[in-house]
Structure formats: structure tokens, C-alpha cells
Chain A
Amino acid sequence: MDSITVLMTSPMSDYLETQLRDRFNLVKLWTYSSKTDFFKHNSHSIRAVVGNTKIGADAELIDSLPELEIVSSYSVGLDKIDLRKCQEKGIRVTNTPDVLTDDVADVAMGLMLAVTRRVCECDRFVRRGLWPKGNFRLTNKFSGMQVGIVGLDRIGSAIAKRAEAFGCPISYYSRSEKPETNYKYFSNIIDLAVNCQILVVACALTKETHHIINREVIDALGPEGILINIGRGSHIDEPELVSALLEGRLGGAGLDVFENEPEVPEQLFGLENVVLMPHVGSDTVETADAMADLVIKNLEAHFLKKPLLTPVV
């Protein structure tokens, strides 16, 4: 298939890049100095786009690639892809569900433990040589804390299963109730926030869930409450979150995602009750390879006219 031209939007994975180069005619968007330069050389040959959480396939890109047949995303999130335009033009879209569910759920749990038990703060305490001066202080117990999950799909359910092993009562807010679970359902997010101690954002980013965590929700969660975000930065009204943390209106936060990555509000850097990670929810060697394999398999299936493995559109 090396006559088929595939566009990779950003340097998301060396392994994936090698696989694509071995199988297809690979074009790398980031090697061009300007968009115009890129479009001049390639727009009529590209039949597939491999995008990720940084650069997907927006309307401008789709419109400029008349031969585009498929967008295979190196992510489960689809917020960087203009799905409606793809549907209109008959362009297929695939993503990487399931293979990254466990890793993202593990980071959510890691953030919950790190924030409640102050693991990162302790590590800093020891490295700064403060231990000889006195013991660390008391934190709150994590086991048994009430955990509220926003979005109970694959990742949300995986988080619930792990938190249950710590004796945490689980409640959730979702588009629809899931009666097959034993978890407590709240039909609005404020009630969920009022009734939990740790609120975890695990839903997809859509128009409806943009800034779903706003000042009202943060106030409902309260000065003892902890917010964990492994979804998308834009789920949270970031300036509101920052002022709530600075003013002590929110107890703490564990964040793997931000509104303008890789920028992170610097006012958070001095806070001990936050843990900040650089969007690494699915970043393990094992999962990165599994995601890459899934991207490749979807592309090969498409060009061999076989059923796609994980189609979205």
C-alpha cells in the first residue's frame, strides 16, 4: 500500500510513525514550514489522516483534502475531529477505545491518592531535607471517601470498579441512568457534587459538556472537596478553578488535562493541594503500542475494503 498517502498531524508516536512509513507513503504535517506550503504539495494525494488530541481533522483540513477517505485517530476522544463534516462527506472515522481505558482509570486513581494522601508533597518534603526537622502532618483517609463520577462509560466504569476496592461509595451523573450498575445516579451534576467528596470528570467533550464544571459545581463540591480531571481541559472553567483553589473554596485538584495545553496556569505551581500531569492518561509503552496497532489495523482494513475495527463514523 505504499502508493497510498497518509498524513500524520503531529509527532505522536515513534512506533506509529515507523509503522506508517513502512506501509504507506507517509507525509508529516509538522515538517512543513507553513500550511500553504503543505497544501501546495500534498492536498490532492492524501487519502488518510492520522490525528491525535493535539491536531485532529478540523473543517479547514478536511475541506483542503479532496481525496480524504478516512480519519484514524490516535485517541479515544473525538473533540478535535469535525465529525459532522466527515459524515456529510462520507469520510470514515476511527478511534482507539478500550485499549487505553485501564491506563486512564489508573491515572485517575493515582491522582485521587496523590491529592488526598499528599504523595507528591511528601516526596518534595523528603527531597528538600525537611524530614529531620519534624514529621509530616496528618492527611485525610482515602478509603471510604464518596466518589462521584461524571460520565459512566468505559473509563468512568473502570474508575468506579477500582474505587470500590477501596470501599468508596460510588455515585454518578450521566446522560442516562445505568440501572445495571448498583451505583447511585444523580440526574443533575450539582446534586452529584453536593453528595460526593471527590468528583471525577470522565465524560467525552462535546458542546454540552464544555465547561460542565463551572463555578456553581465547584462551590457545590466545596472547600473539602477534590476535583479530578482525566477528560479534557475544557470540561472545566479553568479560571474559575484556579481562583477557587487560590481562595480555598475547593479542597484540592488532580489534573491531567488543561484548556490550553501545554500551558498550565502558573498560579497552580505554588499549591500543595494540587497534582499536575502533562496529559499522560494513556501514556504507557504498552498502551501506546496497542493504540498505534489499532490505528494501523483500521487503515489497512479500510484500504483492503474490509470492516473497520473501531469505527465512529
Chain B
Amino acid sequence: MASDQATTPPPPPPPEIQSHDLPKVIVLHPPPVFNYFKDLFSKKFHLLKAWESPLPRHEFLTNHAHSVQAMLCSGTGPPISADILRLLPSLRLVVTTSAGLNHIDLTECRNRGISIANAGEVFSEDVADLAVGLLIDVFRKISASDRYVRHGLWATKGDYPLGSKLGGKRIGIVGLGSIGFQVAKRLEAFGCNISYNSRKRKDFVSYPFYTNVCELAANSDVLIICCGLTEQTRHMINREVLLALGKEGVIVNIGRGAIIHEKELVQCLVQGEIGGAGLDVFENEPDVPKELFELDNVVLAPHMAVFTTESFKDLCDLMIGNLEAFFSKKPLLSLVMNE
């Protein structure tokens, strides 16, 4: 009996994506967005994934990245230092998945003429939403009273202690960029009074402007840290500022942990020198000072302000859009302007 053989030849296998034809992008460490959308990047770019190589990083870069013009990085992973940049002589563009730039040697980039594109305003709303969520939680003890109920204490211990009214409180926003502005807009609807401190006065708002953050704190019930981390802002929120904020004062940080002097913040909270804190960022993530776990007037989040499906998808589109624009010599979508 003749064996079953197809009379027509089998269809050819689908053509493999010739990845070496795609433009090269060096990635030292996978950004969080790769957990969800890596394939969207791999389809369009030849990703040189340093973290997957057995070679030490400097060897990998020397051997494989000499001609690479574009880098994709994030706030996680190694800082993009001058040393790393010097191993990439053809680099013209750094695309970061963060809004923050504190992990990039900006001076070296400026000297080399390397452009930087960041996350722009893609997750300003999500970060603002978390800032407001943390603030309401601290004022109205949402997480703390949720714990109380789940431990069965409402029935046995009675009513929960009173919280504090949000309306009429003076909010001091540190850094009135895209995120700070979205926070201000939201809190105005709660009847709060907004003031701010920023590198420069902003003409498009009529909120009172304070030239220094200590004065802002002295005239505020709440400080919300919305600025970037730079040499000027590192440990800007220290004991002096916290004491100026006062015993009833609340601080919310959705910027970078190192903007606040963390040891001094913990001390002020433990000693009751300030009223409470809502923190999404810390100096040595993922380590969080254990003393904070004992406190009911503190709400803690694991640097997740941008972790929404919508933000990640928008971010992915923006990063790919920037890289595509670069490789087709079009204007970048979210170029960071030197200030």
C-alpha cells in the first residue's frame, strides 16, 4: 500500500524576522514594561540584551554595542553613568521609561550631544491619582481602619478614632511640573488651598509661590513631593522642613525616596513631630524602614504609582514611537529639553 504522502509540497515556513535587519537598541536591564510588552519592542528593534549575556557588562558593550545609536533604559537597573556612555561611542539617543532622569549622567549626555527622551506626561494622571489616594488614606485612616475591621475590632473595641478633614487644608506642592499640576487640580475640587515651590514661578497658575521649601512647609498642612531628584533636591526635605510642617502636618512622596532625608523622616514620625505620611518611594527600594510598620498614621506603597495597564500601554507606545522617530530621522515625541 502506498504510504500517505502529500502530493503537493508542504507550505514554506513563515519567514523569520531577520532581527539583524532591524535597528539596534542596547538595553542593559529589562524595564518593568518588558514584563508585559517586550514582544512589541522585539518586533521592531534588534534588542541587545546585556543582562542575558554571560559577559561582564563592559565587555558586552565593547564587543557588541560599538555601533549602537540608541539605548532603552529605566529607573531600575544600573545608572547610565559616564563610564557606560563612554563604552557606547555611537550613541545618539537614550530613551528612558521613567519621567525621572536622576539615573542618567545628564552632563555627559549634553557634552556628547546625546538626546534624551522620557515618559513625558504619559502617567502624570496615574501618579497624581495615587498621591491623592495616599493623602485621603492618611487623613481619613482608610488602610488603618480597614485593618481594624478585618481584625474584628469594630465589634469588640468599638468606634474607630476620628480622622482629619481634608477641606480647607493648605497643600504645599513641591515641584509644579506635569504631575504637581494634576495633583493641584484634583485637590482644588476637595476645597483645599494650593501653594507651591518650584525651580521657577509658573505663569499659568495663580497659586501662591514660595521661593524656599521651608517657608512652604511652614505655611502648609500638607507637603506633596512631586519634583525630580537632582543634586539640588537630594535630602531637600530634612528635619528642619519637617518641623516647619509641624505636628499635624502630613507628607506625601510620589517623587523619589532620596528627596526626603529618610532617617530624619522616620525619627520625626516615630517621635510625633509630624502627623503622618503617605510614601510610594524610598531611599533604598525595596527596603522600607521597619519602624514605619509599627505606625498607623503611615501608608506605604511599593513604587507603583505608574503601575496601571493604561499607563504601561501608553508608555510602550511612546517609547516605541520615540525610537521609530529617531531611526526615521523624525522629531522625537518626548524629547527632554535642557533647562
Assess whether B186 is in contact with A166, with CB atoms less than 8 Å apart: yes
Q: Which of B284-310 contact A (CB under 8 A)?
A: 285-288, 293, 299-304, 307-310
B206-244 interface bits toward A, Cβ cutoff 8 Å, 1 = contact, 0 = none: 000000000000000000000000000000000000000
Which of A111, A125, A130, A283 has the most chain B CB atoms inside 10 A of its CB? A283
Q: Is A226 an interface residue (CB 8 A)?
A: no
Residues of B within 8 A of A132 (CB): 286-287
Q: Is A284 an interface residue (CB 8 A)?
A: yes
B300-339 interface bits toward A, Cβ cutoff 8 Å, 1 = contact, 0 = none: 1111100111111000000000000000000000000000
Of B7-15, B157-165, B170-178, B197-205, the segment with at least 4 beta carbons within 8 Å of chain A is: B157-165
B168-204 interface bits toward A, Cβ cutoff 8 Å, 1 = contact, 0 = none: 0000000000000000011011110000000000000
Q: Is B142 an interface residue (CB 8 A)?
A: yes
Q: Is B2 an interface residue (CB 8 A)?
A: no
Assess whether A136 is in contact with B129, with CB atoms less than 8 Å apart: no
Query: What CA separation (Å) do A262 and B149 show in the bound complex?
Result: 9
Q: Which of A92-136 contact B (CB under 8 A)?
A: 102-103, 106-107, 109-111, 113-114, 117, 119-120, 122-127, 130-132, 135-136
Given the known inter-chain contacts A283-B162, A284-B140, A286-B164, please indicate yes or no for A122 contacting B304, CB distance below 8 A: yes
What is the CB-to-nearest-CB distance from B318 to chain A, in angstroms, rounded to a whole number? 15
Assess whether A269 is in contact with B150, with CB atoms less than 8 Å apart: yes
Write the chain B residue with the least CB distance to A118. B304
Assess whether A141 is in contact with B304, with CB atoms less than 8 Å apart: no
Q: Is A3 an interface residue (CB 8 A)?
A: no
Assess whether A119 is in contact with B165, with CB atoms less than 8 Å apart: no
Given the known inter-chain contacts A106-B140, A114-B142, A165-B189, please indicate yes or no for A122 contacting B150, CB distance below 8 A: no
A274-297 interface bits toward B, Cβ cutoff 8 Å, 1 = contact, 0 = none: 011110100111111000000000
Residues of B within 8 A of A285 (CB): 162-165
Residues of A within 8 A of B140 (CB): 103, 106-107, 110, 280, 284
Assess whether B163 is in contact with A127, with CB atoms less than 8 Å apart: no
Residues of B within 8 A of A247 (CB): none
Q: Is B77 an interface residue (CB 8 A)?
A: no
Assess whether A119 is in contact with B149, with CB atoms less than 8 Å apart: no
Query: What CA separation (Å) do A269 and B154 show in the bound complex?
Result: 13
How large, as a class, is the contact surface on chain A?
35 or more
Given the known inter-chain contacts A110-B142, A143-B125, please indicate yes or no for A138 contacting B308, CB distance below 8 A: yes
Q: Is A164 an interface residue (CB 8 A)?
A: yes
What is the CB-to-nearest-CB distance from A85 to chain B, in angstroms, rounded to a whole number? 28
Given the known inter-chain contacts A102-B167, A139-B308, A263-B155, please indicate yes or no for A117 contacting B130, CB distance below 8 A: yes
Q: Is A23 an interface residue (CB 8 A)?
A: no
Q: Is A184 an interface residue (CB 8 A)?
A: no
Assess whether A141 is in contact with B154, with CB atoms less than 8 Å apart: no
Write the chain B residue with the least CB distance to A290. B165
Assess whether A141 is in contact with B126, with CB atoms less than 8 Å apart: yes
Q: Is B166 an interface residue (CB 8 A)?
A: yes
Residues of B within 8 A of A138 (CB): 36, 307-309, 312
Of B50-58, B84-92, B105-113, B131-139, the segment with at least 4 beta carbons within 8 Å of chain A is: B131-139
Write the chain B residue with the least CB distance to A130. B302
What is the CB-to-nearest-CB distance from B242 to chain A, in angstroms, rounded to a whole number? 21
Given the known inter-chain contacts A107-B140, A141-B308, A161-B189, please indicate yes or no for A114 contacting B293, CB distance below 8 A: no
Which of A107, A131, A261, A288 has the most chain B CB atoms inside 10 A of its CB? A131
Across chains A and B, which 3 residue pairs bring their CB atoms closest together, nearest first? A113-B133, A165-B189, A110-B136
User: Could you list 6 further interchain pairs (A-B, Cβ under 8 angstroms) beyond the known A141-B126, A141-B308, A277-B142?
Assistant: A110-B133, A114-B133, A114-B146, A141-B311, A143-B125, A264-B149
